[in-house]
Amino acid sequence: MKKTMSDYELIEQFVKGDQSCFETLIHRHKNKVFAYISLYIRDQALAEDLFQDTFLKVIQSVKSGKYYDNGKFISWVMRIAHNLIIDHFRRVKQLNTISNDDYESDLFNSRKLAEANIEDHLIKRQIQKDIRKLISQLPDDQREVVILRHYSGLSFKEIADITDVSINTALGRMRYALINMRKMMEEKKISLTFN
């Protein structure tokens, strides 16, 4: 039942006291929000904190009547995430340069991993690590557009609204990002060498 309800219907029910409706919203949108924050922030622990803070801030705003539905709940949530990231950088006043090594966690702890597959997994892991590195090497404005478009699935109109630029600027940043990524792929000879 709840899975078929719109975001706004879920918020309405949540405000009326049905807490599980917000949990449905979390499950519905968590991947988009996490992808944006974790690819933009790089530091896993910090990304996890900001991911939680985003949803907690959403609750505070909804409860204080600051959300007006225009059919773009996820776009509004992403703007909150964007603002929290900006606030973080303002506080730190420097870009975070913690490496992506934290993402490599329990590869060798998985019992399910058959020995024959280990090499494939290692190659796949390496490619994923390389891609994260490529993304992290893009200029901030280009990186943000790529993440919001490709991983969070926002439209260019929504991206333009969130990042306070025109649609043309957002499109231009996307194009430069893709050109830069292709250049880096060629320089570093990164390609899909598995499967």
Partner 1 sequence: MGLTSTHFISYQKIQVDTVDIYDDAYGFNKEFGDVMNLLDQVKPVPGKRLTKRLIERVRQMN
DSSP summary character for residue 138: S
Q: Choose one: 4-12, 65-73, 91-99, 176-184; the region binding partner 1 (CB under 8 A).
A: 176-184
137 binds partner 1 (CB under 8 A): no
Spatial separation of the C-alpha atoms in residues 14 and 2, rounded to whole Å: 11
* Helix 44-63 with 7-15: angle, nearest 10 deg: 70
The count of chain residues that interact with partner 1, using the rule CB under 8 A, is 42
Which token pair is 80? 């909150």
Amino acid identity, position 88: H
156 lies in the binding site for partner 1 (CB under 8 A):
yes
Structural tokens at position 146: 């790529």
Per CB under 8 A, the list member of 59, 92, 107, 122 interacting with partner 1 is: 59
Tell me how far apart the alpha carbons of residues 79 and 57 are, in angstroms, rounded to a whole number: 11
The binder of partner 1 chosen from 96, 124, 169, 176 (CB under 8 A): 124
Token output for 52:
């939680």
Only one residue has tokens 């340069």, namely 97
CA distance 32 to 100: 19
CA distances (Å), 151 to each of 39, 40, 143, in order?
9, 11, 11
How near is the Cβ of 3 to partner 1 at its closest, in Å? 16
* Contact residue for partner 1 among 155, 165, 169, 176 (CB under 8 A): 155
When asked if residue 192 is in the footprint of partner 1 (CB under 8 A), the reply is yes
Cβ-based nearer residue to partner 1, 76 or 174: 174
Interface region with partner 1, contact rule CB under 8 A, candidates 1-9, 22-30, 85-93, 136-144: 22-30
Chain residues that interact with partner 1, rule: CB under 8 A: 19, 22-23, 26-27, 30-31, 34-35, 38-39, 48, 51-52, 55-56, 59, 124, 127-128, 131-132, 134-135, 146, 149-151, 155-157, 167, 171, 174-175, 178, 181-182, 185, 190-192
